[in-house]
Amino acid sequence: MLRLFAWLAVAAIVLMPQFASAAGLPGVTATPAAGGGTQYSLSVQVLLLMTLLTVLPALMLCMTAFTRIVVVLGLLRQALGTNQTPSNQILVGLALLLSFFVMAPVLQKVYDEGAKPYMDGKMEFEPALAAGAKPLRGFMLAQVRDTDLMTFAKIAGQDAYQTPDDIPFPVLAAAFVTSELTTAFQIGFLLFIPFVIIDLVVSSVLMSMGMMMLSPMLVSLPFKLMLFVLVDGWSLVMGMLAASFHAAA
């Protein structure tokens, strides 16, 4: 199946100039531009744009605050013991909204330094892409743990990097996702502690009263919900998650 997709992709690239010329559109060309960049034809730009749209969900998961937020929210739901409440759709939507708030300064820099100059015709595609990637790399580097970065550097066959700009993007992305998972599990552990204490207290009381046939989870659930609501838990969790991200250097 993968080989079939590869052949279809190669065939599409080879036949695109013929279809473009038949339709009166510019073919697939790449010409040198001023400043050492490369000027691609409209067909190549459309192809790159469509490819970017297909991998956009993966990019969002690997390069933004979404991973940490959605994992913490999922662990919080398990700690509360509410099964599928809130639903997965609500948790994902909440994680997306909070991710936009956290990533807003970074995305603004990406637009100002890369997207806007390219759309205004002041910068070619490759320089604009490199300029727009710098704020995102800075955000990712601020969250990455040194141990995770060294682990994937060794996997890539590198001992160390002289400067942050020398780190290849695949190594940085893999280390970033791993670090986000580690941080999310640490936050989830702290969220579990008060609810586990409530479960232990309720279980001990039920055992001392001889009510062993009654499920402790059924009795502790109202107390956990009441505690979470009284302390304004959702606002605390959202604020804690937003404050857990380090600003880019």
DSSP per-residue codes, 23-47: TT---S-EEE-GGG-EEE-HHHHHH
Asked, as a colleague might, if the bond just before 86 is cis with ω within 30 of 0, I would say yes
> Does residue 28 register a pLDDT over 60?
no
First-to-last alpha carbon distance for the chain, in angstroms, is 44
* 70 φ/ψ angles, rounded to the nearest 5 degrees: -70, -35
CB 153 within 8 A of CB 160: yes
pTM: 0.73
Mean pLDDT over residues 122-147, rounded? 83
pLDDT category of residue 70 using cuts at 50, 70 and 90: very high
pLDDT at 21 over 50: no
Cβ atoms of residues 149 and 169 within 8 Å = no
110-119, 124-133, 190-199 — most confident range: 190-199
Q: What Rg value do the Cα atoms of the chain yield, rounded?
A: 25
12-16, 27-31, 65-69, 203-207: which has the highest mean pLDDT? 65-69
